[in-house]
Amino acid sequence: MERNRYADLLRVVAIGGVVYGHWLLISITYRNGQLSGLDALDYIGWGQWVTWLFQVMPVFFLVGGYVNAQSWAAHHADGQTWTIWVRDRAMRLFWPTAVYVFVAVLAVAIARAAGVNEAEIAEAAWLIALQLWFLPVYLLLIALTPLLLAAHRRWGLAVPAAMAVAAGLVDIAVVGPHVHVIGYVNYLFVWGSIHQWGFAWQDRTLTDPRWRPCALAAGGAALLAGLLMLGPFKPDMIGSGNTNPPSIALLAYAAAQAGLVLAAEPFVSRLLTRPRLWQPVRRLNATVMNVYLWHFVPAIIVAIAFYATGVMPQPAIGTAEWWELRPAWWGLLTVLLVALVIVVMRAERPMLRLPAGVGRPGPWSPVLLLAGIVAASVGLTRLAIAGFAPGGHPPVPVLAAFVIGMTATLFTGRNQPQGTRPQELRPA
């Protein structure tokens, strides 16, 4: 498969937006022996507009749709089954996630043994689990890719359009009759719609002729403006109002963002033919999964090491001094994160030789795979909601769900000789 360098660049830029956005908008504090994570938007009235610069998860799903369509089409043409393809891609996510989960649980156990306050353990363990929400949603879309891609080939852009209408109807049910639980269906409709745009990008449906990305951006911007002026939606694109669950306003924002991103592709792709620009992108792209998983850890380390000892001051959020310290905060966390990712990736090298699957495949393999992904996704979802130590104690049933689900996924049968796995652990 020919590699799309622009897609790799988008992934790198997007992870940068996620990391620095979280480091800015989730303010870690340590006072009176108590660690806390505060939403900076609660203290900065105009900060909700800043979220437009840092909400880049739509780019991840856009790139994911592109790469999943390309990968499934190529592997299916070679005779690979749904089970093998989904299992291989799921395990690429599970291996580095398992390392992260293991280290997090071990850290909780060490903190408990050291007599750390349970409330403090629970807060830190919650903060470092927040980002895990992405994995269950992305795993669902991987599993559905063959079906959704077939729908795209038959109906084209009508599929994401129908999803957008469905997302709007869900929001009406949430806002009108206040049926809040139905809002979580939009995790499929909103993120799924963006994932479908990736299919249309991959086969050029969305980019040929060249005016189509501009039309997508203009349509998304117009819809977003209307929703913000007339609807019950706030401009905050990272807070719970538009992202948990995702709303039609977030989808409109994503359309404007995706349109601009795709419109820039021809120009930026020409720049990426230069080796001095492409080589750093290629190297950074291999770190994306680990950067995403581990980026909250340096914030916890710095808060405990520098705030608790008084080395770094803790001015009130939103004050001039707080803003003046943000570059130093970002710089310190960046250094720690780079060192941490280097260590983690070296420790993970043996996993590159592990098989994507073990055992003998059989007619039961698809069912086992589906059950494994569901179990692991339930575990990851609960961790993202409650953290690695709700109440100060590791959630054993939740962790067991993840482990059992990953194990079931692994034992759906070996499909290739050991050592031929792709050598990058990342969501591609």
* Number of other CB atoms surrounding residue 336 within 10 Å: 18
Backbone angles phi, psi at 4, to 5 degrees: -90, 105
Strands 34-39, 26-31: pairing kind? antiparallel
pTM greater than 0.75 (yes/no): yes
| Mean pLDDT for all residues in the chain | 91
* Number of other CB atoms surrounding residue 106 within 10 Å: 11
At 68 the pLDDT is 97
Quote the radius of gyration of the chain (alpha carbons, Å): 22
For residue range 255-266, list pLDDT tens digits in order. Answer: 999 999 999 999
For residue range 321-348, list pLDDT tens digits in order. Answer: 999 999 999 999 999 999 999 999 999 9
What is the rounded CA–CA span in Å between residue 157 and residue 206? 8
pLDDT at 417 over 50: no
At 425 the pLDDT is 39
Mean pLDDT of 369-378: 97
What is the rounded CA–CA span in Å between residue 234 and residue 41? 12
Supply 130's token pair.
């927040």
pLDDT at 178 over 80: no
Q: DSSP class of residue 297? A: H
- In the structure, what pLDDT confidence band is assigned to residue 428 with cuts at 50, 70 and 90? very low
Mean pLDDT of 391-400: 95
| Closest by Cα among 239, 303, 334, 301 to 27 | 303
Q: What is the dihedral of CA 274, 275, 278, 279, to 10 degrees?
A: -170
Q: Cα(first)–Cα(last) distance of the chain, in Å?
A: 13
What is the rounded CA–CA span in Å between residue 321 and residue 331? 16
pLDDT at 371 over 60: yes
For residue range 73-107, list pLDDT tens digits in order. Answer: 999 999 999 999 999 999 999 999 999 999 999 99
Q: DSSP of 62-110, one letter per residue?
A: HHHHHHHHHHHHHHHHTT--HHHHHHHHHHHHHHHHHHHHHHHHHHHHH
Q: Give Cα separations from 100 to 57, 271, 297, 374 (angstroms).
A: 21, 35, 10, 19
Mean pLDDT of 115-131: 92
For residue range 19-56, list pLDDT tens digits in order. Answer: 999 999 888 888 777 788 888 888 887 888 889 999 99
For residue range 180-215, list pLDDT tens digits in order. Answer: 789 999 999 999 999 999 999 999 999 999 999 999
- In the structure, what pLDDT confidence band is assigned to residue 297 with cuts at 50, 70 and 90? very high
Compare 382 and 30 and report the one with higher pLDDT: 382
At 380 the pLDDT is 98
Q: Give Cα separations from 118 to 37, 130, 384, 395 (angstroms).
A: 15, 19, 18, 14
pLDDT at 422 over 70: no
Contact 416, 178 (CB under 8 A): no
At 221 the pLDDT is 97
At 312 the pLDDT is 86
What is the rounded CA–CA span in Å between residue 136 and residue 131? 11
Question: Percent of the chain having pLDDT more than 70?
Answer: 96
Among the residue ranges 231-245, 350-364, 391-405, 413-427, the one predicted with the least confidence is 413-427
- In the structure, what pLDDT confidence band is assigned to residue 140 with cuts at 50, 70 and 90? very high
At 74 the pLDDT is 95
Mean pLDDT of 137-162: 97
Among the residue ranges 45-49, 226-230, 239-243, the one predicted with the least confidence is 239-243
What is the rounded CA–CA span in Å between residue 308 and residue 379? 33
Region of 419 (left: φ > 0; alpha: ψ -120 to 50; beta: rest) is left
Backbone angles phi, psi at 293, to 5 degrees: -70, -40
| 3-state class (DSSP) for residue 308 | coil
At 349 the pLDDT is 87
The residues pairing with 34 across neighbouring beta strands, listed in sequence order, are 31
Please, which residues have CB within 8 angstroms of residue 401's CB and are 6 or more apart in sequence? 375, 376, 378, 379, 382
- In the structure, what pLDDT confidence band is assigned to residue 415 with cuts at 50, 70 and 90? low
pLDDT at 420 over 50: no
At 311 the pLDDT is 85
Amino acid at 278: W
Supply 88's token pair.
């291989």
